[in-house]
Amino acid sequence: MIQIKKITGELLREMDCESLSCVNFSGANLSDANLYRADLSGANLYRANLSGANLYRANLSGANLYRANLCRADLCRADLSDADLSGANLCRADLYRANLSDADLFGVDLSGANLYRAYLYRANLCRADLSGADLSGANLYRANLSDADLFGADLSGANLSGANLSGANLCRANLCRADLCRADLSGANLSDADLFGANLSDADLSCAIINWNSHDLISAILLQHSIDVEKRMIADFILASRNMCWKDFMRIEHKEKQWAIDTLKTYIVDGDRHPHFLD
């Protein structure tokens, strides 16, 4: 017999079983439940209400949490690897250092969630709402973030190498010192994104909405097209001259300046507020 109690100590339900693993909780009301260190691996939590529940260090690997309500739930250090969380409500949930590797998070609401140093290796976050989420230091290696909303999200120091960010909204996102090596950023909205110190080597930036005030992004674009030392010097100069603006750049004399201008012109997208001299 297993008793499930609320965080306040009030008895929520009794289960005539020895383990919660693989138990069917579909549609169950487990709001504010205390499931600290609970083994819910393989459990069916389809459309279950776990809002405000304490799932700290719980094992939810392989669980079905499709369309579950986990708003404000404590999932700190929880194991959610391979779990189906598609369409779930994880708004403002605490997923600090949670393991979400290979998890299906398609269309999930993670707005304002704490994913600091979370492990999201190969996770499917396609069309997920991550606006305002804290993903600083998170491991998103090869994660699918296509068409995800990352408006205002903190991705500083995150590992996004090989991630798919095509069509994602990264407007006002903090990507300071993030690793975006080989990331697919085609069609992504990078307007006003902070890319200071980000690694953008071999990132696909085709059709992306560029932050034209980002020295790191402009330099990365030019480096991708540099085929000789002279062209690389222009890219390195822009990265090193953070105190300079476009007006200062236009005053410099360099034989490859026109090449740089022509290269940047190919990244213009309607309404992207690009410098007027590129027209």
Give 12's pLDDT tier (boundaries 50, 70, 90): confident
Give 13's pLDDT tier (boundaries 50, 70, 90): confident
Residues across the chain: 279
Which two structure tokens, joined as six digits, stand for 187?
Answer: 């069609």
Residue 117 has pLDDT above 90, yes or no: yes
In the chain, alpha helices (H): 215-225, 229-240, 246-251, 257-265
How confident is the model over 161-170, as a mean pLDDT? 98
Give 257's pLDDT tier (boundaries 50, 70, 90): very high
Are residues 91 and 72 in contact, defined by beta-carbon separation less than 8 angstroms? yes
Give 17's pLDDT tier (boundaries 50, 70, 90): confident
Q: How far is CA 66 from CA 53, 55, 184, in A?
A: 17, 17, 27
pLDDT digits over 54-74, tens only?
999 999 999 999 999 999 999
Cα 125 from Cα 11, distance rounded (Å): 35
Cα 33 from Cα 112, distance rounded (Å): 22
Cα 25 from Cα 197, distance rounded (Å): 46
Which two structure tokens, joined as six digits, stand for 156?
Answer: 């500083």
- CA diameter of the chain: 80
Are residues 206 and 226 in contact, defined by beta-carbon separation less than 8 angstroms? no
Which two structure tokens, joined as six digits, stand for 150?
Answer: 């990352």
**What is the per-residue pLDDT for 279?**
87
Query: What is the amino acid identity at position 230?
Result: E
* Secondary structure of residue 26 in the 3-state scheme: coil
Q: Name which of 19-23, 47-51, 100-104 the model is least confident about.
A: 19-23
Cα 173 from Cα 132, distance rounded (Å): 8
Tokens 């190498």 -> residue: 161
Cα 143 from Cα 161, distance rounded (Å): 9
How confident is the model over 182-194, as a mean pLDDT? 96
Residue 19 has pLDDT above 90, yes or no: no
Residue 1 has pLDDT above 90, yes or no: no
Task: Record the pTM.
Answer: 0.90
* Secondary structure of residue 230 in the 3-state scheme: helix
Are residues 192 and 210 in contact, defined by beta-carbon separation less than 8 angstroms? no
Q: Name which of 7-16, 51-60, 77-86, 210-219 the model is least confident about.
A: 7-16
**What is the per-residue pLDDT for 104?**
97
Residue 15 has pLDDT above 90, yes or no: no
pLDDT digits over 143-158, tens only?
999 999 999 999 999 9
Cα 171 from Cα 195, distance rounded (Å): 11
Give 6's pLDDT tier (boundaries 50, 70, 90): confident
Task: Name the residue with higher pLDDT: 16 or 202.
Answer: 202
**What is the per-residue pLDDT for 156?**
98
Residue 16 has pLDDT above 90, yes or no: no
Query: What is the amino acid identity at position 6?
Result: K
Mean pLDDT over each residue of the chain, to the nearest integer = 95
